[in-house]
């Protein structure tokens, strides 16, 4: 098989591969199976049950976990924390990479080989006038030949380049990398704060769902009590059958509401486990609501909380670090306008042996070395540096505007969270009074109905009002903790570095 046949086969094979991998879907009106899809699906199926994690979280199925313990599990098991950690590690490696520009760049190389070449030589004809007039016009080329040369070469070389001075270019690059590392580090802290808030919020959502189950159970018991009272009045000839049927209908509706509430509780449990970062199939016993509320945030003024948020929120720290990074990028571009001074040195050992026209090999082994001090001055680059500077200055202005916008957003978030928290606290007393009043009203109407002094619509209305009041009471209680968590998140107090996570929702231990 000759070379052209091999090349043709390679071309056909490459075209076949390209057609098999790069074709789009053949039509827009139906799905299709791309080549190799089954391979990817099989790999996904294998990875789904063979996850490699840095730490295995052990869940005790007989233990009841409170909020603080759930947050601890989430911080160790949620994939988002590991993703943020890897980003911070990459940013740290980028700092080390930028600092490498301060060191000399060393290259060791070696080469050995054989070379065959030829040197053409002309055949000359010299006229007799050349003796009296030695000029090229009296010399003619009549033909020629060549000498074949062969050489064996072995060489080892060590080269070094070292940038000595660049008017702050390297320093600006390193500083920009360090600012990006700060962004990654506070982003890592921000991820933890978000997870703490999500787990806290969904923990109370689960608690609220559990309370709704209790409320609907109480409503079902109240409906059955009313049904029994109607049955007693029917037995005494004081109630009508339509009233009894309506009472049965109300009991059936309460039973349906109870099953719906249990379904919401199951959904809330799945959502909580998702925020923790574990599978819903894991058996996890979650404690009921019972944490003590720390009112420290409520006792502070909103101005104090805003000032604290503007000084410590991770997103604002990241925005500020981004501004610093853009400033360093401007310094990097500015350094390109100035000369660069570097040393370029090399040392090598060469062994060269040559044969000409089948002669004996001759040559030598000699060291070679040299060093140059180079100064490069950029004179003209098609206005590239000017455009880089314009882009860098625009990026700095963009970063400053983002920081300003983020500060305004933080003020609004703290203000809203603070007012929501204060409102939730005020609603708590009203909700408690509402539950008490509704319970007293239901008891009085029920007793009155049993003695024939109230109508069926009145007792049904009192029952519904009691159920609604209980639901409002539980929602208000859970809303206080959720609002407190949102306030702590807006201020930046959740999962603060250097101390234990200071969530206002954790139990005091």
Give the CATH number of the domain where residue 76 resides.
Answer: 1.20.1600.10
Contact 486, 451 (CB under 8 A): no
Q: Nearest to residue 425, comparing CAs of 508, 467, 494, 482?
A: 482
Relative to beta strand 340-356, strand 285-286 is unpaired
Of the candidates 296, 278, 297, 294, the one whose C-alpha atom is nearest the C-alpha of residue 286 is: 278
What is the rounded distance in angstroms from the CA atom of residue 206 to the CA atom of residue 474? 12
Residue 439: which of 419, 417, 410, 462 has the closest Cα? 462
- Distance between CA 216 and CA 253 in Å, rounded? 10
Please tell me whether residue 45 adopts helix, strand or coil conformation.
helix
Same domain, yes or no, for 159 and 212? no
Identify which of 324, 24, 23 has the alpha carbon closest to the alpha carbon of residue 176.
Answer: 324
What pTM was estimated for this model as a whole? 0.74
Distances (CA, A) of 48 to 51, 276, 279: 6, 18, 11
118 with 204, same domain: the answer is: no
Q: Is residue 405 located within the same domain as residue 427?
A: yes
Contact 82, 135 (CB under 8 A): no
Considering the domain boundaries, does residue 265 fall inside one?
Answer: yes
Q: Check residue 278 and give its pLDDT.
A: 87
Q: What was the pLDDT predicted at 507?
A: 39
> 3-class SS at 431?
helix
Query: Is residue 18 in some structural domain?
Result: no
Residue 215's contacts (CB-CB under 8 Å, 6 or more residues apart) are 261, 467, 470, 471, 474
Position 29 in a domain: no
Question: Cα(286)–Cα(293) distance, rounded to whole angstroms?
Answer: 19
Confirm whether 31 is domain-assigned: no
Query: How far is Cα 223 from Cα 249, in angstroms, rounded to an integer?
Result: 9
The count of domains in the chain is 2
Q: Write the CA distances from 352 to 107, 120, 170, 357, integer angstroms.
A: 22, 22, 41, 17
Using CA of residue 428, residue 430, residue 433, residue 437, what is the dihedral sign?
Answer: negative
What are the mean pLDDT values of the chain's consecutive 10-residue runs (509 residues total)?
A: 60 54 76 82 70 58 87 88 90 93 94 92 81 77 86 94 92 94 91 90 88 88 86 80 84 90 92 89 82 61 90 91 94 93 94 90 92 92 92 94 94 92 87 89 86 82 87 84 87 69 39
Place of tokens 């407190």: 484
Rounded Cα gap, residues 263 and 269, in angstroms: 10
CA distances in angstroms from 250 to 263, 463, 464, 469, listed in the order given: 20, 10, 10, 18
Cα-based torsion angle of the residue sequence 451, 456, 459, 465 in order, rounded to the nearest 10 degrees: -170
Secondary structure of residue 1 in the 3-state scheme: coil
- For residues 89 and 216, state if they share a domain: yes
For residue 49, what are the CA distances in angstroms to 43, 259, 337? 11, 33, 56
CB proximity list for 151: less than 8 A, separation 6 or greater: 114, 115, 116, 117, 352, 353, 354, 355, 363
Determine, yes or no, domain membership for 38: no
Joined tokens for residue 443: 């008891």
**113: Cβ contacts below 8 Å, ≥ 6 apart:** 152, 153
Q: Tell me how many degrees the CA angle 161-164-168 measures, rounded to the nearest 5.
A: 125
Alpha helices in 78-142 (DSSP H): 79-99
Nearest alpha-carbon partner for 326 in 165, 183, 167, 166: 183
Burial of 205 (0-12, 13-18, 19+ CB in 10 A): buried
Q: What is the pLDDT of residue 15?
A: 54
Q: Where are the beta strands (DSSP E) in 331-361?
A: 340-356
Question: Does any domain span residue 347?
Answer: yes
Q: Are residues 284 and 362 in the same domain?
A: no
Within-domain flag for 141 = yes
Question: For residues 69 and 67, what is the distance between their CA atoms, to the nearest angstrom?
Answer: 5
Domain match, 299 and 156 both: no
Tell whether 242 and 180 lie within a shared domain.
yes
**Same domain as 299, residue 185:** yes
pLDDT at residue number 296:
61
In a domain, 498, yes or no: no
465 and 404 in a common domain = yes
Q: Quick one: 353 and 470 in the same domain?
A: no
pLDDT of residue 291: 56
Q: What pLDDT, on the 0 to 100 scale, is given for residue 3?
A: 55
Q: Which of 479, 484, 477 shows the shortest CA–CA distance to 417?
A: 484
Same domain assignment for residues 318 and 466: yes
Asked if 210 and 310 sit in the same domain, the reply is yes
Domain that holds residue 417: 64-98+171-330+384-491
Q: What does the block give as tokens for 375?
A: 């100064």
């Amino acid at each position: 098989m000759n070379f052209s046949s091999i090349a043709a086969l390679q071309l056909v094979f490459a075209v076949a591969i390209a057609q098999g991998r790069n074709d789009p879907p053949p039509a827009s009106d139906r799905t299709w199976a791309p080549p190799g899809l089954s391979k990817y699906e099989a790999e996904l199926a294998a990875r789904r049950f063979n996850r490699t994690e840095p730490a295995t979280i052990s869940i005790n199925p007989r233990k009841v976990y409170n909020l603080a313990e759930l947050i601890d599990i989430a911080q160790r098991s949620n994939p988002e924390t590991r993703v943020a950690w890897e980003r911070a590690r990459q940013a740290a490696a980028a700092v080390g990479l930028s600092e490498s520009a301060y060191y000399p760049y060393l290259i060791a190389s070696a080469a050995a080989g054989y070379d065959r070449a030829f040197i053409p030589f002309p055949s000359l004809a010299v006229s007799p006038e050349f003796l009296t007039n030695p000029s090229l016009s009296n010399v003619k080329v009549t033909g020629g030949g060549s000498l074949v040369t062969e050489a064996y070469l072995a060489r080892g070389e060590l080269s070094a380049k070292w940038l000595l001075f660049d008017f702050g270019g390297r320093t600006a690059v390193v500083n920009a990398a360090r600012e990006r590392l700060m962004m990654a580090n506070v982003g890592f802290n921000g991820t933890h704060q978000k997870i703490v808030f999500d787990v806290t919020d969904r923990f109370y959502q689960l608690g609220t769902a559990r309370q709704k189950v209790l409320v609907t159970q109480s409503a079902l018991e109240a409906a059955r009590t009313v049904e029994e009272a109607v049955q007693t009045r029917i037995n005494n000839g004081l109630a009508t059958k339509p009233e009894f049927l309506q009472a049965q209908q109300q009991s059936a509706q309460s039973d349906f509401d109870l099953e719906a509430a249990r379904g919401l509780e199951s959904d809330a449990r799945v959502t909580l486990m998702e925020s923790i970062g574990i599978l819903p199939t894991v058996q996890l016993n979650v404690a009921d609501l019972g944490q003590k509320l720390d009112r420290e945030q409520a006792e502070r003024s909103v101005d104090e909380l805003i000032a604290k948020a503007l000084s410590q929120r991770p997103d604002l720290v990241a925005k500020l670090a981004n501004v610093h990074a853009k400033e360093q990028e401007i310094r990097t571009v500015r350094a390109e306008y100035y000369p660069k001074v570097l040393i370029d040195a090399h040392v090598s050992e060469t062994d060269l042996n040559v044969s000409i026209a089948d002669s004996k090999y001759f040559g030598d082994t000699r060291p070679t070395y040299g060093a140059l001090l180079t100064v490069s001055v950029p004179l003209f680059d098609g206005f590239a540096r000017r455009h880089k500077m314009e882009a860098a200055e625009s990026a700095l202005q963009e970063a400053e505007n983002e920081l300003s916008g983020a500060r305004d957003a933080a003020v609004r978030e703290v203000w809203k969270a603070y007012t929501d928290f204060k409102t939730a606290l005020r609603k708590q007393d009203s909700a408690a009074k509402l539950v008490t009043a509704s319970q007293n009203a239901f008891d009085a109407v029920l007793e009155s109905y049993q003695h024939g002094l109230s109508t069926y619509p009145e007792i049904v209305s009192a029952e519904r009002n009691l159920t609604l009041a209980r639901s409002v009471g539980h929602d208000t209680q859970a809303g206080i903790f959720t609002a407190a968590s949102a306030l702590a998140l807006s201020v930046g107090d959740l999962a603060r570095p250097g101390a234990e996570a200071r969530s206002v929702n954790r139990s005091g231990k």
